[in-house]
Amino acid sequence: MLRITNLFAKVEEKEILKGLNLTINAGEVHAIMGPNGAGKSTLGNVLSGRDGYEVTDGKIDFNDKDLFALSTEERAREGLFLAFQYPVEIPGVSNMEFLKASVDAKRKHHGQSELSAVEFMKLARETSKRVSLDQAFLKRGVNEGFSGGEKKRNEILQMMLLEPSLCILDETDSGLDIDALQIVANGVNEMRSPERSFIIVTHYQRLLDYIVPDFVHVLANGRIVKTGGKQLALELEEKGYAWLEEEAV
């Protein structure tokens, strides 16, 4: 599914990722934990191809394609999805229009016809129920005036509609209360399948009580410094990151 080899990346001349290696097979759930500034969000942004994130070395294969040869939108259409830590508010662009445009873009890319407005409305309504998001949110501007929890549920709604093969959740648990956390986690768990992989970027072990990972990685100083099973998350919760950062230097 995804193979990251010796990845180096800079943001504004500051080297953030320093030789990161990570392989993810189909169907696996990988949690990436680590201290602030370790490069967790940078990894998500590099994967989705955000401007300003300069890759200086290394390569990423995504479904046997060179990821760096694809634009941000092509990566999305090929099945890469990044759930944002801070979903963007876009007043004036209706959520419905936005969702349909993204679903249609993916369908066209795969040689399918666009959905009719009626077909799409039906799909969007059904899907928004799955994340307990009131249909009224479809009519509002994209994330406009949504609470933190509503924004994250809207991210999961997009994920469900786009049916990506690789889902990257960037601190999706930040700013969520327990109820919203459960809804988000249920959404992710519903989507788990042998063909779909997840990268769960998080600070806290809490989310991993709900979304149980196959692997837990610790990202520190721009590299994966430790990999383990789900117990590692519990160990981190207890001991913090400092001992690993010291090891990594």
Q: Which residues bind another protein (CB under 8 A)?
A: 48-51, 71-73, 75-77, 81-82, 84, 87-88, 90-94, 96-98, 100-102, 105-106, 109, 117-118, 120-121, 138-139, 141-142, 158, 162
Rounded Cα distance between 218 and 221, Å, is: 10
Decide whether 33 or 200 has the Cβ nearer to another protein. Answer: 200
**Residue whose CB is less far from another protein, 69 or 88:** 88
Q: Is the CB of 198 or the CB of 241 nearer to another protein?
A: 198
Structure tokens at 198: 């997840």
Minimum CB separation of residue 19 from another protein in Å reads: 25
Q: Can you tell me whether residue 19 is helix, strand or coil?
A: strand
Whose Cβ is closer to another protein: residue 61's or residue 104's? 104
Work out the angle at residue 16's Cα, subtended by the Cα atoms of residues 12 and 19, and round it to the nearest 5 degrees. 135
User: At its nearest, how many Å lie between another protein and the CB of residue 170?
Assistant: 11
* Helix, strand or coil, per DSSP, at residue 100: helix
In this structure, what DSSP letter does residue 41 have?
H
Residue 94 C-beta: closest distance to another protein, Å:
5
CA 224/CA 130 separation, integer angstroms:
34
Shortest distance (Å) from residue 147 CB to another protein: 18
Quote the CA–CA distance of 187 and 191 in Å, as a whole number. 6
Nearer to another protein, 41 or 158 (CB): 158
- For residue 98, what is the enclosing H or E element? helix 95-109
Tell me the closest approach of the beta carbon of residue 72 to another protein, in angstroms: 4
Specify which residues 196 forms β-bridges with: 193
CB-wise, 81 or 241, nearer to another protein?
Answer: 81
Q: Shortest Cβ distance from residue 5 to another protein (Å)?
A: 23
Give the Cα separation of 212 and 40 in Å (integer): 19
**Which tokens hold the place of 183?**
């809804």
